[in-house]
């Protein structure tokens, strides 16, 4: 399509870039309801899946069948839904999450001037007990046992030692670990860093711990894909899901691996999984005097209040008055 020109100020011509959308495409995009735009803006697949399920649950409860019916929702509908969630025996944290999803949608609709008010605003959300302690932080001895659990010089043992080192020394989420590519391990100002693809497509750069650097080097030496920058760093040894050994390791595979080694070394704690490595690393760093703002940045938390969940400095068992008692 040829460029068009618009005459301005006498003979001066201003170039107008060619139109990239057809008239039909433009009309179709203009007709997209704000509700659909909100879903499209949820970039994280996990968040999108959870929020879609929560909104679908609300729609089924209220009887919404068309997007425009969201404009008829009032606070009474939200209160009735909350009461139904409580009647179904859902936990406080679950109910809070569902209300947060609904509030996010209506806040977007308010910003788009599709509705006048957010009916979720002001609705009291269930109190929940603090999250502190829900995800276990392991002792130093338990971490050493896990790091040493993959024995031998085989490819699987080397890969698993590298995975455990990256998790326990860098506090990554398992999805972040699985997303690492070979090229994401690179120098920044003379120091090896991991380029971490965090939640909400946020990037952060974490220095590589020497123990992890050695484990990664040994693994790549055996795996043989260290010269392929775009390749996933951690790959399956045997795959019954993708049938491809050059694909990225799946988060579920990391979970099963950690549970297997935990059982092997006798670690039997509630809610143990890859997130326990993140909690352990954060707790250990804070115990060693790391600045909580730096830990927040390291973990990729949007709010420091989330980071405080891992701050056990005032509640360490060894500091309890129990151990001061002497008869």
Clarify whether 275 is annotated catalytic: yes
Reply yes or no on whether 9 is catalytic.
no
The tokens 């891992």 sit on which residue? 310
| Annotated catalytic residue within 77, 170, 275, 312 | 275
Q: Tell me which of 98, 170, 235, 301 is the catalytic residue.
A: 301
Residue 197 bears catalytic tag: no
Q: Which DSSP letter does residue 314 get?
A: T
**Active-site option among 159, 173, 235, 312:** 173
271 is catalytic: no
Residue of 48, 181, 199, 209 marked active site: 199
Whether 77 sits among the annotated catalytic residues: the reply is no
Which residue among the candidates 77, 158, 235, 278 is catalytic per the annotation? 278
Based on the residue annotation, tell me whether 181 is a catalytic residue of this protein: no
Contact 277, 258 (CB under 8 A): yes
Please say whether the beta carbons of 62 and 77 come within 8 A: yes
> Annotated active-site positions, please?
173, 199, 275, 278, 301, 310
């Amino acid at each position: 399509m040829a460029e068009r020109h618009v005459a301005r100020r006498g003979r001066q011509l201003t170039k107008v870039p060619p139109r990239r959308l057809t008239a039909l495409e433009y009309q179709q995009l203009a007709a997209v309801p704000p509700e659909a735009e909100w879903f499209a803006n949820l970039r994280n697949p996990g968040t999108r899946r959870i929020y879609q399920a929560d909104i679908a649950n609300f729609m089924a409860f209220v009887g919404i069948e068309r997007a425009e019916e969201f404009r008829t929702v009032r606070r009474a509908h939200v209160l009735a839904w909350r009461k139904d969630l409580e009647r179904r025996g859902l936990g406080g944290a679950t109910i809070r999450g569902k209300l947060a999803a609904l509030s996010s949608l209506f806040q977007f609709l308010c910003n788009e001037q599709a509705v006048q008010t957010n009916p979720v605003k002001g609705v009291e959300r269930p109190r929940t007990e603090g999250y502190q302690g829900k995800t276990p932080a392991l002792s130093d001895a338990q971490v050493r046992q896990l790091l040493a659990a993959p024995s031998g010089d085989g490819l699987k043992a080397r890969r698993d030692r590298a995975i455990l080192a990256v998790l326990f020394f860098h506090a990554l989420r398992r999805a972040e670990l699985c997303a690492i590519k070979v090229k994401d391990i690179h120098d920044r100002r003379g120091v090896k860093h991991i380029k971490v693809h965090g939640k909400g497509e946020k990037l952060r750069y974490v220095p590589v711990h020497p123990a992890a650097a050695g484990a990664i080097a040994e693994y790549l030496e055996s795996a043989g894909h260290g010269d392929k920058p775009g390749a996933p760093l951690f790959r399956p040894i045997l795959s019954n899901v993708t049938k491809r050994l050059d694909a990225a390791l799946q988060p579920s595979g990391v979970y099963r691996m950690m549970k297997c080694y935990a059982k092997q070394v006798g670690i039997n704690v509630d809610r143990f999984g890859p997130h326990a490595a993140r909690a352990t690393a954060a707790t250990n760093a804070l115990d060693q005097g790391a600045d909580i703002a730096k830990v927040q940045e390291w973990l990729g938390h949007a709010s420091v209040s989330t980071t405080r969940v891992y701050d056990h400095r005032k509640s360490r068992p060894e500091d309890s008055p129990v151990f001061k008692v002497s008869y």
